[in-house]
Amino acid sequence: MYTVTVTRDFVAQHWLTVPDPGPEGALHSHHLTVEVEVEGERLGEYGYLVDIDDLKAVVDALVDRYRDATLNDLPEFEGRNPSVEHFSRCFAERVADGIETDRLDAVAVTTWEEDAAAASYAASV
């Protein structure tokens, strides 16, 4: 299986909407690192799973969407606790929708909060 990975850093804000969230229930920022990995068994004509510049462009557009944003205010988090788990799923789904190739079998996103904890989401495409 081939994989291609792109990593980006940015800051976003949120507050948790769970019962008794403690200090996380107030608006606060996190330095996030997203690691996006795409996977597939076949390479294209030029020996690429995916053009890395195309993957970078999709990831950069998503980072621009979330950078300095308050996640709670975005439609994809309406009615959801904006956890790092939900964030990873949203990011992965948008990457899968944004990449134009039939060679991908899976997309995985790992989101790190402050280099101390991470959550991942992976899906077949």
Q: How many domains does the chain have?
A: 1
d(CA 99, CA 11): 24
Number of H helices, E strands in the chain: 2, 4
Tell me the whole-structure pTM to 2 decimals: 0.95
Which are the contacts of 116, defined by CB distance < 8 A and separation ≥ 6?
Answer: none
Cα-based torsion angle of the residue sequence 124, 96, 39, 61 in order, rounded to the nearest 10 degrees: -150
pLDDT over 70 percentage in the chain: 100
pLDDT in tens, 52-76: 999 999 999 999 999 999 999 999 9
Domain at 83, CATH number: 3.30.479.10
Domain membership of residue 101 as a residue range: 1-122
d(CA 98, CA 36): 13
With a cut of 50, list the residues of the chain below it in pLDDT: none
